[in-house]
């Protein structure tokens, strides 16, 4: 860590020879105090720039769900990959939440967009937080490679795919579990985008991985792996995964889409396949 740190360490646990840590910091773009988790793999030299993977979680999660439920640390330790786990929305007493306390809007449901509408726009700038502010902070504080991998689940799969497709030079590879791929055409996405972005559907398309792949996929390519459980009760209801596979087929975009009988939407699905995702990213990191 640098001498003039902006981070407060909240916890540190030794894990598979490395360290699982949690930090707090003041976010300028979100205008609130934020927490994030990091797994540091065991390393022989503090001077080596580590490869890093950003994990974006889904609705209702904090930075701690993946850290405690996915079981990713053993393979990350073996592969020498740092795991960076941000929160899913701004937090704090001054941050607006859904009026009815709904789980799919407001706290825990930032959707990785920059809100343009009241009362959200002062704090809900999650796209800028994940793409710019947090990576700048991480590279100031720790030794990490410039290009990172990015992955996520459900709303976080949407975040990972849209951020990777819009920032192909910044990320080496992207993967997702049960991602929302067409938020402009599913209930979760339409609700969130109406609140955060208003009625301007042009703005919505900037955060829709189907639209982004269709726009840019003929010219640009990033290695992509997507896994979907066939017993996931949100698979059909929220049009997860499939619409992006259809766009990929249509435009000839090379990406792997896999469907797994019996698996649901939970972290039991993620923990069953996370090793394959980490090994996939390790080829490009
Ligand atoms: N049925 C859930 C919907 C939310 C949900 O399934 N969240 C997923 C991501 S979309 C999750 O990872 N939940 C936290 C966990 O399983 O640890 C609820 O009402 O809380």
User: 154 an active-site residue?
Assistant: yes
Which residue ranges in the chain fall short of pLDDT 70?
1-3
- Edge to edge, the sheet with strand 148-153 lists 8-15, 18-27, 32-40, 82-86, 52-56, 148-153, 171-177, 224-229, 256-260
DSSP letters spanning 172-211: EEEEEES-B--GGGSHHHHHHHHHHHTT-HHHHHTT-HHH
Closest atom, ligand 1, to C-alpha of 178: 10
69 lines ligand 1 (CB under 6 A): yes
CB of residue 268 inside a 6 A radius of ligand 1 = no
What predicted TM-score, i.e. pTM, was given to this entire model?
Answer: 0.97
Name beta bridge partners: 85.
37
* Whether 175 is catalytic: no
Task: Select from 46, 30, 75, 4 the least CA-distant residue to 275.
Answer: 75
The pLDDT score that the predictor gives to residue 4 is 80
ipTM over 0.85: yes
Q: What share of the chain is helix, strand, coil (3-state, %, to 5)?
A: 35, 25, 45
pLDDT in tens, 46-62: 789 999 999 999 999 99
**pLDDT tens-place string over residues 85-117:** 999 999 999 999 999 999 999 999 999 999 999
What pLDDT does 236 receive?
Answer: 98
Which among 95, 147, 154 has a CA at the least distance from the CA of 119? 95
Evaluate: CB of 176 within 6 angstroms of ligand 1.
no
């Amino acid at each position: 860590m640098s001498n003039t740190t902006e981070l407060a360490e909240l916890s540190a646990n030794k894990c598979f020879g490395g360290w699982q840590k949690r930090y707090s910091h003041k976010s300028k773009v979100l205008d609130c105090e934020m927490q994030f988790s990091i797994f540091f793999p065991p390393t022989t030299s503090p001077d080596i720039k580590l490869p890093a993977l950003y994990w974006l979680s889904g609705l209702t999660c904090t930075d701690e769900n993946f850290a405690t439920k996915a079981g990713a640390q053993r393979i990350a330790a073996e592969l020498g990959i740092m795991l960076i786990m941000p929160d899913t929305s701004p937090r704090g007493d001054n941050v607006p939440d859904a009026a009815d306390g709904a789980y799919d809007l407001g706290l825990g449901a930032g959707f990785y967009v920059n809100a343009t509408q009241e009362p959200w726009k002062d704090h809900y700038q999650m796209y800028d937080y994940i793409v710019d502010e947090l990576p700048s902070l991480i590279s100031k504080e720790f030794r990490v490679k410039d290009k990172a991998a990015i992955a996520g689940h459900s709303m976080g799969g949407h975040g990972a795919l849209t951020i990777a497709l819009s920032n192909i030079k910044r990320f080496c590879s992207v993967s997702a579990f049960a991602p929302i791929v067409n938020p402009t055409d599913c209930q979760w996405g339409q609700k969130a985008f109406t609140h955060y972005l208003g009625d301007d559907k042009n703005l919505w398309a900037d955060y829709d991985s189907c639209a982004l792949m269709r726009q840019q996929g003929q010219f640009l390519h990033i290695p992509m792996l997507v896994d979907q459980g066939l017993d996931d009760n949100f698979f059909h209801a929220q049009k997860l995964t499939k619409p992006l596979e259809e766009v990929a087929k249509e435009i000839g975009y090379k990406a792997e889409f896999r469907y797994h009988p019996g698996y649901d939407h939970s972290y039991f699905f993620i923990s069953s396949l996370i090793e394959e995702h980490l090994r996939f990213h390790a080829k490009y990191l």
